[in-house]
Amino acid sequence: MRGVLALVLWLLLAGPAFAISDPAEALPDPAQEARAVAIGQQLRCLVCQNESIEDSGADLARDLRRIVRQQVAAGRSNREVIAWLVARYGNFVRLRPPFETGTLLLWGSPVLALAAGGGAVLLARRNRPAPPPPLSAAERDRLRQLLDRT
Amino acid sequence: MNRRLLLLAPFGVALVAGGGFLAMLRREQAGTFDPRGVPSMLIDRPVPPFSLPGLASSDLRGRPVLVNFFASWCVPCVEEAPVLMDLRRAGVPLYGIAYKDKPEATDAFLSRHGDPYARLARDLPGRVAIDWGLTGVPETYLIDRDGIVRWRWVGPLTPEAVTAELQPLLRRYA
């Protein structure tokens, strides 16, 4: 029993070992490395597709990470590095799609949702029944009678 | 009236969305739609300049050729091998680029499954493949006589793809 418990504890400790980042890949300059990571996190791994190349363990992702780092070390801007990859893999490689005609609906969807919600609220307001007219003198007398009886 | 319309709206949305998903599924089953497909940036553009042991971009001129990226470690490539051999027998010029593959392993693969390639290049670091926008092996590209990429197929070539897509294109660019 104690052995099992110890094993479980050890396995819990092993969590960080899942991080695939190989320190040998990193650039020596921490500022450049941070930039390379920031660029890599915006780029889709073409093999696993829902991971960025920074998170992916695929061979191709590792090659792309290396290229990003070479270009960062060569002094290229973030925009230039991403453009280099988009020229080869298209906008599909960007995890954050650019704003253009093809993505108008995608980027416009929050505005559309807000408009639809606002429209629904306005419609509900307009359809709300009018408040009842104030009581007439006869009704007020009747009400007083009813209240006095108690 | 308005209230009933509002009540019906969610059903309308569900109907439209359901219809859309059904159409996507149908097209996926028919093989005309791949949600994971990465469109090639090379279509109707010249081949990216490259020079590999065995093949250079300047060799891809003068007549239409197929360029096939493959590797000995790639299982779908085994599946594709007979289709490529059929193409070779049909006289289609086919150039192979071995992607991230040890030369001995490539040679063993070709002697085991047949060698359909008129020329063989080796891209051991896989760097040229990235210029082509390769997402995996196998991938096959049709290059016309002017060195312009006209077609790309991702995954193993099937006899259906050859008759439905490749053969008409080969006739057009012959």
- For chain A (150 residues), the mean pLDDT of every run of 10, in chain order, is 73 53 80 93 88 90 94 94 94 88 89 94 86 88 87
The residue type of A121 is V
Tens-place pLDDT, residues B105-158 = 999 999 999 999 999 999 999 999 999 999 999 999 999 999 999 999 999 999
Q: Helix, strand, or coil here: B68?
A: strand
Pick the CATH number of A18-98 from 1.10.10.10, 3.40.190.10, 1.10.8.640, 3.30.1330.60: 1.10.8.640
Q: Which of the four pLDDT bands, split at 50, 70 and 90, describes residue B19?
A: very high
Q: With an 8 Å Cβ cutoff, is B4 touching chain A?
A: no
Domain ranges of chain A: 18-98, 100-150
CA distance A76 to A94: 18
Q: Which of B63, B67, B21 is nearest to B42 (CA)?
A: B67
Average pLDDT of chain B to the nearest whole number: 92
Q: In terms of C-beta distances under 8 Å and separation of at least 24 residues, what long-range contacts does A116-121 make, across chains too?
A: A120/B6
Determine the Cα angle at A38 with ends A32 and A39, to 5°.
90
Quick check: B2 and A127 CB within 8 A?
Answer: yes
- In angstroms, the separation between the Cα of residue B145 and the nearest Cα of chain A is 22
Q: ipTM more than 0.85? A: no
Q: Helix, strand, or coil here: B10?
A: helix
CA distance B78 to B80: 5
Cis ω on the peptide bond leading into residue A133 (within 30° of 0)? no
Q: In terms of C-beta distances under 8 Å and separation of at least 24 residues, what long-range contacts does A113-122 make, across chains too?
A: A120/B6
**Residues 132 to 171 of B: which have CB under 8 A from any A CB?**
132-136
